[in-house]
Amino acid sequence: MATLPKHLFEHKQKSNKKPMLRPTPHTKGTKKLYIKTYGCQMNVYDTQRMADALAPEGYVHVEQADGADMVILNTCHIREKAAEKIYSELGRIRLMVDKNNKNVAEGQETKPIIAVAGCVAQAEGREIMRRAPIVDMVFGPQSYHKLPEMLGKIANGQRKVLDTDFPTEDKFDSLPAANPTNIIARGVTAFLTIQEGCDKFCTFCVVPYTRGAEYSRSIARILNEAQNLVNNGVREITLLGQNVNAYHGQDDAGNAVNLAGLMTALDTIEGLARIRYTTSHPNDMDQALIDIHANQKSAMPYLHLPVQSGSNAILTAMNRRHSRESYIKVIERLRASRPDIALSGDFIIGFPGETDDDFEATLDLVRQVTYSQAYSFKYSSRPGTSAANLTNQVDDEVKTKRLAILQVLLNQQQRQFNQNTVGATLDILFERSGREDGQLIGRSPYLQPVYVDAPTEMIGQIRPVYIESLGNFALKGNLAS
Ligand code: 5AD
Ligand code: SF4
């Protein structure tokens, strides 16, 4: 017998249930906004900008979903099970809503506005609407500046709002500046997106599909945003982009400016002590940018430069457009310019066709480069990417074994890097209070977390700290007089 389409059953089941709750209509005044963030630093930044977009509507960010007037899940689609995680979370929210309405008279039930944002929303918008009736709004990473407009539609009785367009206007131009209260609450380090999207199409990666084509913001807008952050106490800015070092903005006269030029311009902002940037592509590490690490004090001696694999055959299959040798050359040029630069990387283990020899080449590259920290992942096939069609997939068991071997090596290198700084005096930017009374957590120029006994007033200051010891997870230091 032919199987009937699943949705016919779902429709029948649904018709026996109570009609789906509508979000509670909002009154004027303060409203609570809960945003759960998944994935990368750019999502953390987008979450903050969503909160900025909603602040003029009276929304204040809270730390839990229960009791919130609006819940946004800001999702990530980079590796597998991303969508399933979101459906589980939506299931938990559904239970929370039901529990809160258990003893409430019929017709008086309440429900927050529930939205799914980010890259899963971009990739699976309609499917989310279909599978999770509790969701009111779905929007992608390029349309969250329209949040007030979307809320207006819901307030006017529209049941569902779906916006996964890549609009022609720049979302950053339409977003309000972050207000001082929000900046201060976020602390003395901040993210700032300067570039978004990717045109490189590595065969494993969903980013070109979820974030769209490469786009760089103008110098003036970035400088404005950076100045606003610094005016409100920020001392360190991490510039963000999927291909941040491919940045090519324009100054007011219409001249092209690359990342080195932007870093030079940012260096003129008084009070901005540290600048970092992530994530870079090896092919876009031009000499001007490499020189910045030697010549500009605010450029931190730390670089996240993913290589993904140490095997040329795999790099070709990944469409990385660089070889093992050209990557190592870039590292050599960086070290010639700034000998103490700390390196971080990303690795994908078990890309289709990866042999024992290919994996050995990755281990060999890691031994040759030596990293201060790194991120490593098992390859996961992503719908819509060209590697998903490859038939020579690697067994999960093999991937697990290889990943464990690589991670032992990377952890050893990280420990060794940290150990090498014991006995040194490093400038530490104090970021927040530690777990113990009287303790602050700060970061070294190499992005290492360091625990120091110091007064709360020192948050936001950069002080020389003598690195005394290395614990299980972090360094411990003392204020150097
Ligand atoms: N499988 C595993 N890891 C991936 N990454 C990106 N796509 C995949 C995938 N399909 C990793 C890469 C990238 C980092 C952000 O995530 O290492 O640099
Ligand atoms: Fe993805 Fe490659 Fe672009 Fe990085 S460079 S975002 S890995 S496609």
Q: Domain of 73: which CATH number?
A: 3.40.50.12160
**Cα atoms found within 13 Å of the Cα of residue 333, Cβ hemisphere only:** 16
Residue 22 has pLDDT above 80, yes or no: no
Q: Kindly state whether residues 235 and 99 are assigned to the same domain.
A: no
Tell me, yes or no, whether 212 and 130 share the same domain. no
Closest ligand 2 atom to Cα of 206: 1
pTM here is 0.92
Residue nearest to atom 1 of ligand 2 (CA): 205
Pocket test of ligand 2: the residue of 119, 193, 214, 281 to mutate, having most ligand atoms within 8 Å of its CB, is 281
In tens, the pLDDT along 439-464 reads: 999 999 999 999 999 999 999 999 99
- Position 11 scores a pLDDT of 34
Instruction: Give residue 365 CA to ligand 2 midpoint distance, Å.
Output: 20
Residue nearest to atom 4 of ligand 2 (CA): 242
Q: Is the CB of 205 under 6 A from ligand 2?
A: yes
Which range marks the domain in which residue 44 is found? Answer: 6-163
The secondary structure of 85-147 as a DSSP string is HHHHHHHHHHHHHHHHTTTSPTT-----EEEEEHHHHHHHHHHHHHH-TT--EEE-TT-GGGH
- Closest atom, ligand 2, to C-alpha of 198: 3
171-175's contacts with Cβ under 8 Å and 24+ in sequence apart are 171/142, 171/143, 171/144, 171/145, 172/145, 172/217, 172/221, 173/221, 174/145, 174/146, 175/49, 175/52, 175/53, 175/145
Q: State the distance from the centre of ligand 2 to the C-alpha of 253, rounded, in angstroms.
A: 31
Report percent pLDDT > 70 for the chain. Answer: 95
Is position 383 within any domain?
Answer: no
CATH number for the domain harbouring residue 440: 2.40.50.140
As a whole number, mean pLDDT of residues 110-134 equals: 93
Residue 188 C-alpha from the chain's centroid:
18
pLDDT at 169 over 50: yes
Q: What is the pLDDT of residue 27?
A: 63
> What was the pLDDT predicted at 170?
79
* 377 Cβ below 6 A of ligand 2: no
Q: Is residue 288 part of a domain?
A: yes
Q: Are both 41 and 70 inside the same structural domain? A: yes
User: Is the predicted pLDDT of residue 83 greater than 90, yes or no?
Assistant: no
| Closest ligand relative to 308 C-alpha | 1
CA of 29 to the centre of ligand 2 (A): 43
- 200 & 139 share domain: no
* pLDDT value at 13 more than 70: no
Distance from the alpha carbon of residue 93 to the mean position of ligand 1, in angstroms: 29
pLDDT of residue 28: 65
Residue 380 domain flag: no
Distance 281 CA to ligand 1 centre (A): 13
pLDDT at residue 371 is higher than 80: yes
Judged against a pLDDT cut of 90, whether residue 23 lies above it is answered with no
In a domain, 436, yes or no: yes
pLDDT of residue 15: 40
Confirm whether 182 is domain-assigned: yes
> Any idea which ligand is nearest the CA of 322?
2
Question: Residue 200: CB within 6 Å of ligand 2?
Answer: yes
Q: For 214-268, what is each residue's pLDDT tens digit?
A: 999 999 999 999 999 999 999 999 999 999 999 999 988 889 999 999 999 999 9
**113 or 170, which is more confident:** 113
User: 260, 277, 300 — which closes off a domain?
Assistant: 300
| Position 7 pLDDT exceeds 50 | no
Judge if 226 and 281 occupy the same domain. Answer: yes
- The rounded Å distance from CA 378 to ligand 1 centre is 8
Say yes or no to pLDDT of 18 above 80. no
pLDDT of residue 25 exceeding 70 = no
Is the confidence at residue 55, as pLDDT, over 60? Answer: yes
Q: Are residues 190 and 155 in the same domain?
A: no
Instruction: Quote the ligand 1 centre to 320 CA distance (angstroms).
Output: 12
Residue 19 is predicted with a pLDDT of 58
Give the mean model confidence (pLDDT) for residues 57-78: 94
CATH number at residue 199: 3.30.750.210
Residue 382 CA, ligand 2 centroid: distance in Å: 13
pLDDT mean across residues, the chain: 92
| Nearest CA, atom 7, ligand 1 | 205
Q: Do 119 and 16 share a domain, yes or no?
A: yes
Give the ligand with the smallest distance to the CA of 282. Answer: 2
How many beta carbons lie within 10 A of that of residue 396, not counting itself?
12
Quick check: CB of 183 below 6 Å from ligand 2? no
Q: Which two tokens stand for residue 475?
A: 């360094």
Nearest ligand for residue 320 CA: 2
Q: Which of 3-7, 235-239, 418-422 has the lowest mean pLDDT?
A: 3-7
Looking from the CA of residue 40, the nearest atom of ligand 1 is 15
**56 close to 293: Cβ distance less than 8 angstroms:** no
Query: Is residue 356 in some structural domain?
Result: no
d(CA 443, CA 427): 8
Specify if 27 maps to a domain: yes
Average pLDDT, integer, range 311-337: 98
Whether 318 lines ligand 2, by a CB cut-off of 6 Å, is no
Instruction: From 159, 162, 163, select the one nearest 20 (Cα to Cα).
Output: 159
Domain-terminating residue out of 163, 189, 206: 163
207 ligand 2 Cβ < 6 A? yes
**Pair (58, 146) in one structural domain:** yes
Binned at pLDDT 50, 70 and 90, residue 364 comes out as very high
Q: CA separation (Å) from 31 to 24, 136, 177, 184?
A: 12, 17, 20, 20
Q: Please give the average per-residue pLDDT across 295-309, as a whole number.
A: 98
Together in a domain, 85 and 233: no
Q: How many domains does the chain have?
A: 3
What DSSP character marks residue 283? G
Largest pairwise CA distance in the chain:
82
| Ligand 1 pocket at CB < 6 A | 78-79, 204-205, 306, 308, 346, 348, 377, 379-380, 382
Q: Quick one: average pLDDT of 80-105?
A: 90
Extract the runs of DSSP E, i.e. beta strands, from 167-269.
Answer: 189-193, 195-196, 215-216, 236-240, 248-250, 256-258
Q: Of 108, 133, 163, which closes a domain?
A: 163
Mean per-residue pLDDT, 269-296: 98
Residue 23 Cα to ligand 2 midpoint, Å, equals 38
141 shares a domain with 14: yes
455: in domain = yes
CA dihedral (196, 202, 208, 214) positive or negative = positive
Residues 135 and 215 in one domain: no
Q: How confident is the model at residue 167 (pLDDT cuts 50, 70, 90)?
A: confident
Helix (H) or strand (E) holding 26: none
The three-state DSSP-derived secondary structure of 411-465 is: HHHHHHHHHHHCCCEEEEEEEEECCCCCEEEEECCCCCEEEEECCHHHCCCEEEE
Query: Within this chain, do residues 282 and 189 fall inside the same structural domain, yes or no?
Result: yes
